[in-house]
Chain A
Amino acid sequence: MSRNLALGAILSSLVVLAALTSFVWTPYDHAAMNIPDKLQTPNATHWFGTDHFGRDMFSMIMVGARTSIAVALLAVGIGMALGVPLGLAAAARKGTWADELIMRGNDLVFAFPSLVIAILITAVFGPGAVNAIIAIGIFNIPVFARITRGAALSLWEREFIMAARVAGKGAARISAEHILPNVLNLLIVQGTIQFSLGILAEAGLSYVGLGAQPPLPSWGRMLADAQTMVSFAPHMALIPGVAIILTVLGLNLMGDGLRDWLDPRLRVTRG
């Protein structure tokens, strides 16, 4: 296991652990306001300090991790659940109108950055964390469809697929039984990357008010609150920012490490 993979796995596990622990324990109630204690810098009683309402920032970061992870994970789920079957279908029907339709549809969805999708959804249904999930999820669909189709196309040329066809298996069964297991590594790596992009996107959407709404804590919202206080309480901006950076960095390192580890060609050349 490479150094990248180990470091990435440690960072990501810490964030997941914080999120899971927050279900049963946080040092303080993350929503409890305590005005006399407001704007404290990190100290022994409040490890990450307190915000302008005197809420404990450490507890808010722990619960915020939950929001970030849930939004990004569900968005990856939507992207995979719809994108992978579309990619497999396009590859199985390479060059036909179905392939063309799927790929042009992909291009179209690609033209809508997740922020733009979020703006559209918010204009219709109002802001909320679910919007963020849908917006980032829709953006993920063409990513997974493209990568699945690309990888599946080269597999369809291989002899073991020919053998399966000779054995009488249909395109759908070959896609499910032979193509999918062989593109799974690629999907895991891409899933990690989209997961980290999802964390960043959720933070951005919540920051501009299109994502998680109060009282649901979110790192992006914490940064929005910190904006007007950055001159006299910089810790309010620094801490959620560092939390986002370490999470994304961890996931990216893990993605890079996984790619090296799962790609057999790289393993062979490394000897």
Chain B
Amino acid sequence: MLRYSLKRLLSLILSLAVASLVIFFVIEVAPGDPASFMLGINAQPDTVAALRAELGLDVPKAERYLAWVGGMVTGDFGTSYTYRTPVARMIADRLWVSLPLALYALMLSTLIACPAGIYAAARRGRPGDAVVMGATQLGVAVPNFWFAMMLVLVFAINLRWFGAGGFAGWDKGLLTGLHSLTLPAIALALPQAAILARVMRSALLDILGEDFMRTARAKGLSRRQALWRHAVRNALIPVLTIIGLQFSFLLAGAIIIEQVFYLPGLGRLVFQAISARDLIVVESVVMLLVFAVITVNFMVDLAYALVDPRLRART
């Protein structure tokens, strides 16, 4: 297990290094100099040069890359070109919205999908199964931002149970914060729940056909007992993998949903940064998202190997 973990860790570090290289050099290709953009078209060349020096843009690319990566490792993401504040602090402030939103959505998606998948598998081929499968087929097809708008229309504008947008802030209390994230989290969770329910159902159906399930029934367990004691536990392996993979997609998906609800999260930050050509912010947010995907995949791989020793032997 140690050998496997070390090998995966090495591949994680290598992936992060290559990803950071790709992100840095793609952004470096960007036409337009941030310093000239900030000072406008009438700026004097020496003023632009002075600002370039201040922002550290006059240093060779390789050196800047190393400084950027080295800074990120120590938590220093540089200084925003437009706001002149540390990027790390800007990202941390926004993460307090985006991260709880993604986690809230993940929780909702799991809470909806697992019972739905188990219910459908237990009633395979019967009307209950057809209803759940029909609902998941529809859930996969619904764009989450459109669903978010419909939620606003029904629950914020017509019923007035929730606000139509904005974030109250965590300092107003946990419940108030969660209340303003509820509609966005539901919108984000729906398509993921549909996918997860389908995975849960098909994983359970595979297991229900296994010999050990027949043995469980033969030793006198009822269908329901066999399902809960043996099948569900075994089906959790693929389901946990998908849950892990979904988290990173939820974080990226949150960027779109934040636009619907005017939430001050990473999405708003990155779109503002793009229009202001605050490239260091774009770079850092993108790296953070990619870091999340790569790291979560790594953890899923490790968890998987821990549960299923055959995987360790294979690599």
Contacts and interface: CB of A to CB of B under 8 A. Distances in A.
A249 interface: yes
Given A122-B274, A204-B256, A209-B271, A244 B137 contact: no
A2 B23 CA distance: 46
Contact of A111 (B31, B149, B294): B294
A107 interface: yes
A252 B195 CA distance: 13
Interface of A: 104, 107-108, 110-113, 115-116, 119-125, 196, 200, 203-204, 207-209, 220, 223, 226-227, 230-231, 234, 237-238, 240-241, 244-246, 248-249, 252-253
Contact of A104 (B11, B22, B146): B11
B157 A112 contact: no
B113 interface: no
B27 interface: yes
B6 interface: no
A97 B227 CA distance: 44
Nearest to B275: A209
| 8 pairs of A and B residues whose beta carbons are closest in the complex | A248-B141, A241-B146, A249-B141, A113-B252, A124-B30, A111-B293, A231-B157, A123-B282
A108 B23 CA distance: 12
A14 to B, nearest CB: 15
Contacts of A108: 15, 18-19, 22
Interface string B8-41: 0001001100110011001101110000000000
Given A200-B143, A245-B138, A119 B15 contact: no
Interface string B235-275: 00000000000001100110110011000000100110010
A227 B270 contact: no
A171 B149 CA distance: 52
Given A112-B290, A113-B252, A113-B293, A124 B27 contact: yes
Contacts of B23: 120
Contacts of B140: 248, 252
Contacts of A223: 143, 145-146, 149
Nearest to A201: B143
A119 B149 contact: no
Q: Mostly helix, strand, loop or mixed at chain B's interface?
A: helix
Residue of B18, B141, B271 with most chain A CB atoms under a 10 A cut-off: B141
Contacts of A208: 255-256, 259, 267, 271
Nearest to B258: A208
A195 B251 CA distance: 23
B103 to A, nearest CB: 18
B299 interface: no
Contacts of B145: 204, 207, 223
Given A231-B153, A244-B146, A252-B137, 11 more contacts: A116-B286, A120-B23, A196-B141, A200-B143, A203-B143, A207-B143, A208-B271, A237-B150, A238-B150, A252-B140, A252-B141
A227 B260 contact: yes
B18 to A, nearest CB: 6
Contacts of B259: 207-208
A111 B270 contact: no
Contacts of A122: 274
A113 B84 CA distance: 29
A99 to B, nearest CB: 14
Contacts of A245: 138, 141-143, 146
Residue of A119, A240, A241 with most chain B CB atoms under a 10 A cut-off: A119
